[in-house]
Structure 1
Amino acid sequence: MDDELLHSFQEDSRENLESIEGDLMDLEAAGEAFEDDLVNRIFRTAHSIKGAAGFLGLEQAAGLAHVLENLLHLVRERRLIPSRKTVDAFMRGFDALGRLVDNPLEEAEEGLEGLVAELEGMYDPEARDLAHTDREIGGGDGPVFTVDDLTLEEALKGGKFLYLVEYDLIHDVHRKDKTPYDVIRAMLDSGYILDSKVDLEAAGDLKSGFGNSIPFHVLYATIIDPEIVSMLFDVPEGRVRLLDRESVRAGEPPRWASGTEPHAGVLAESIAGLEVAEEDGAAVVRAGEELTLDTVENLRQALLRASESRSAVRLDVSDANRADFSFAQLVVSALRHQAECGGDFGFTGEPPEPVAACLRRAGLDRLLGEAT
């Protein structure tokens, strides 16, 4: 773990925890008449530590902070009324959290499992069911996040939007003279981090070669409108995906919220050496003459980036004079990927005979109709 990142996490967390004892004592004294601002302040302390600890892989701290966060959500909803007993449990929870912040790399905090079980015992029956019902969100070209329904309930409260955000730790962070912790802090100031993951496999290895990016995916809720949210994240518009709240609640595959696909401006760029442009609201990737194992990886990258910019993706293969089975596999993958994301994939026109013949030989001639 990077020492600078760990130090920043500890410094911020200790600062947030400085006033926690006084805030909890005020909460106990207020009882049912507590002020929302007081509970919100305590909640932000737990959430800030959870969000940063999760990114750093500090599972004990993130897990304990998450349980405290859930309980404070119940307090805000007045489903859990502050009392001497409940506040004492909060005190011991935050004390343990402080020790985990001070000693994040040591072995498990003594008695932590019992404390977590005691805190979870304060859930009401409905909250207990929600906290133990996991939902998978994401997929397609990004990771799958597992989120419990109690967390999801809090995240979507107050009409917040739910986003899947992809940062590139090389281009969006390091080369902009930022640290990952700067990104985390900025997001915590403006919304709610449900989970985050770094895709280290994308960095490559000595045998297969190095990648040109290290994706950092964040599942994030905020009240900030889709029209301006990419300004908050400081990433290209196509790497911020707005999820449909109702489909998420229903446990359906992730899809774009209706009418919210990022499409402002004209798409015109070169990706992996291939031209990508916008036509009639769709991202169009223009393939070369060879659709073979030697070229399909570049085509995959271009299609993937195109899908991040528009929900409708079209492939122009009009110049192709050769195709092999690796291309047929790519077409199947593109169809599946776009379907999972709530988009669609097709050709710009009828594929030339070499391409059509390739799909027929692979037993995939049905794709000629399905993908056009």
Structure 2
Amino acid sequence: MEVIMSFQEDETLRLYVEESLEHLSNIENDLLAIESDGADINEDLVNKVFRAAHSIKGGAGFMGLNNIKELSHKMENVLGMIREREMIPNPEIVNILLLASDTLRKLLINVGESNSMDISEHVEALVGLTSNTAPVKEKKKTTDLADIVMEGKTIFKVSKKDIYNARKKGYFIYLVELDLIRDVHEKNLTPMDFIDKIQESGNLFDCRPDIEAVGNLQTDAMPDSIPFNILFGTILEPSMVNALFDIDERFIFELKEDFSLVPVSGTAAAEPEIQEETSPEARESSAPLQEKENQASGFGMMQDSAGDQASNESKKTDMQVSAGETSLRVHVKLLDSLMNLAGELVLGRNQLLQAISLKDMHSV
């Protein structure tokens, strides 16, 4: 009874449930329309339903609503395969999605009891769809789970298939450890603000607070930090990913193909050093060329004139300014637009390369 009351009194949870039910409000008509389109899918419509499942999954992970997260995640996997044209939405597939969406709605309406409700029938049906459709070579690679381990402790268990599919799209995979006190509360933000940003720029795999790291909450002393871990994929490179968070980069890690974690701070720090080393060499290699051109045109003997001295001083000043400039101020709205455009270009390139490799002239 106490758990139900805490759910009812949580304003954040109430808003999440309202938004999630709104996502599901027209899903039946959308799924039936997807079925009628068959192999000639309406990408905008499929993306709409995919984003609905994706958003519900992201919020459920933060709220600790495990059944809602699990069911929406399995629906998302099927919709992702339809979107990638790896699965044709026939009546059987759409019926499984419809039944799952009905159960998902019931879970949200009865959110206080959702974690104890049985969803195994729907999960097995959805998993059966993705397992039966995957090529034989990929099944061995993608059917099991991988442990995401940090400092000897398993942070997440994630489907290798999800990671595999994300990498095929050109995504980098990251683990971010937010501090709910320092990075969220003190900045007047909420975890959902970060989750929304992630879902706009890529794919959220899982997220949860690290309760064990807080210690015993029954003690008088309040914790100095409350870790909140997020595992996600995005087209943003390691040197750019902190634009989503604006936190200490020591708490952002890239997940490598062997599932090891590497801090992005080392990658980001190496780039400016390369530019500083190569830039003087480029200027030195161009100096003899310029001198030869001046001599050939007869201007080498006139460098003692006042006008040329002023010109040379101006050039030196320009070079010093260029060498000293290491940052550029850009309006945040322009940065968001550039990031979105860059993401669309990368995704478009990857889809084109995949279509060419599969000789799918329709997609080309």
Q: Tell me, yes or no, if structure 1 residue 180 matches structure 2 residue 180.
A: no
Decide which of 85, 98, 102 is 2:105's aligned counterpart: 98
Which residue of the partner structure matches residue 226 of structure 1? 238
Distance 1:48 1:11, change over 3 A: same
Which residue of the partner structure matches residue 4 of structure 1? 11
Per-residue CA deviation, residues 222-270 of structure 1 (Å, 9 max, x unaligned), is 11232222121122222222232x223xxxx33357972556899xxxx
More strand by share: 1
Decide which of 59, 80, 86 is 2:93's aligned counterpart: 86
Percent identity, please.
37
Moved segments of 4+, more than 3 Å: 107-111, 124-132, 204-210, 255-259, 261-266
8 A Cα contact 2:249 2:265, kept in partner = no
Q: Tell me, yes or no, if structure 1 residue 215 matches structure 2 residue 227.
A: yes
Q: Which amino acid aligns with 2:101?
A: F
Which residue of the partner structure matches residue 121 of structure 2? 114
Question: Deviation at 1:131?
Answer: 5.9
How do 1:1-372 and structure 2 match up within 5 A? 3-106=10-113, 112-125=119-132, 127=134, 132-140=143-151, 143-205=154-216, 206-207=218-219, 209-244=221-256, 246-248=257-259, 253-255=260-262, 260-262=267-269
Per-residue CA deviation, residues 34-58 of structure 1 (Å, 9 max, x unaligned), is 0223222211111111111112111
> Per the alignment, in what secondary structure is the counterpart of residue 96 of structure 1?
helix
- Distance (Å, rounded) in 1 between the aligned partners of 2:76 and 2:195: 17
> Per the alignment, in what secondary structure is the counterpart of residue 247 of structure 1?
coil
> Per the alignment, in what secondary structure is the counterpart of residue 236 of structure 2?
coil
Per-residue CA deviation, residues 274-324 of structure 1 (Å, 9 max, x unaligned), is xxxxxxxxxxxxxxxxxxxxxxxxxxxxxxxxxxxxxxxxxxxxxxxxxxx
Distance 1:61 1:107, change over 3 A: closer
8 A Cα contact 2:142 2:161, kept in partner = yes
Higher RCO (Cα < 8 Å, 6 or more apart): 2
- Distance (Å, rounded) in 1 between the aligned partners of 2:244 and 2:115: 36
- Distance (Å, rounded) in 2 between the aligned partners of 1:57 and 1:46: 16
Q: Which amino acid aligns with 1:68?
A: M
- Distance (Å, rounded) in 1 between the aligned partners of 2:63 and 2:161: 23
Structure 2 unmatched runs, 5+: 1-5, 274-364
Deviates more, 1:83-92 or 1:119-128: 119-128
- Distance (Å, rounded) in 2 between the aligned partners of 1:99 and 1:265: 53
- Distance (Å, rounded) in 1 between the aligned partners of 2:264 and 2:114: 43
Measured on the aligned residues, the alpha-carbon RMSD in Å equals 2.8
Q: Which amino acid aligns with 1:11?
A: E
- Distance (Å, rounded) in 1 between the aligned partners of 2:84 and 2:193: 31
Per-residue CA deviation, residues 315-356 of structure 1 (Å, 9 max, x unaligned), is xxxxxxxxxxxxxxxxxxxxxxxxxxxxxxxxxxxxxxxxxx
Distance 1:147 1:72, change over 3 A: same
Question: Deviation at 1:213?
Answer: 0.5
> Per the alignment, in what secondary structure is the counterpart of residue 204 of structure 2?
strand
Deviates more, 1:100-109 or 1:23-32: 100-109
Per-residue CA deviation, residues 96-148 of structure 1 (Å, 9 max, x unaligned), is 11111121112568662222222222234464656640111231277521111
8 A Cα contact 2:50 2:79, kept in partner = yes
Question: Deviation at 1:210?
Answer: 3.4
Question: Deviation at 1:31?
Answer: 0.1
The TM-score with structure 2 as length reference comes to: 0.65
Which residue of the partner structure matches residue 353 of structure 2? none
Structure 1 unmatched runs, 5+: 267-372
> Per the alignment, in what secondary structure is the counterpart of residue 33 of structure 1?
coil
Which residue of the partner structure matches residue 317 of structure 1? none
> Per the alignment, in what secondary structure is the counterpart of residue 162 of structure 2?
helix
Distance 1:100 1:207, change over 3 A: closer
Q: Which amino acid aligns with 2:215?
A: G
Distance 1:131 1:225, change over 3 A: closer
> Per the alignment, in what secondary structure is the counterpart of residue 195 of structure 1?
strand
Question: Deviation at 1:67?
Answer: 1.0
Q: Which amino acid aligns with 1:19?
A: N
- Distance (Å, rounded) in 1 between the aligned partners of 2:245 and 2:150: 21
Quick check: which has more Rg, 1 or 2? Answer: 2
> Per the alignment, in what secondary structure is the counterpart of residue 129 of structure 2?
coil
Distance 1:123 1:131, change over 3 A: same
- Distance (Å, rounded) in 1 between the aligned partners of 2:133 and 2:263: 30
Which residue of the partner structure matches residue 317 of structure 2? none
- Distance (Å, rounded) in 2 between the aligned partners of 1:176 and 1:85: 48
8 A Cα contact 2:65 2:115, kept in partner = no
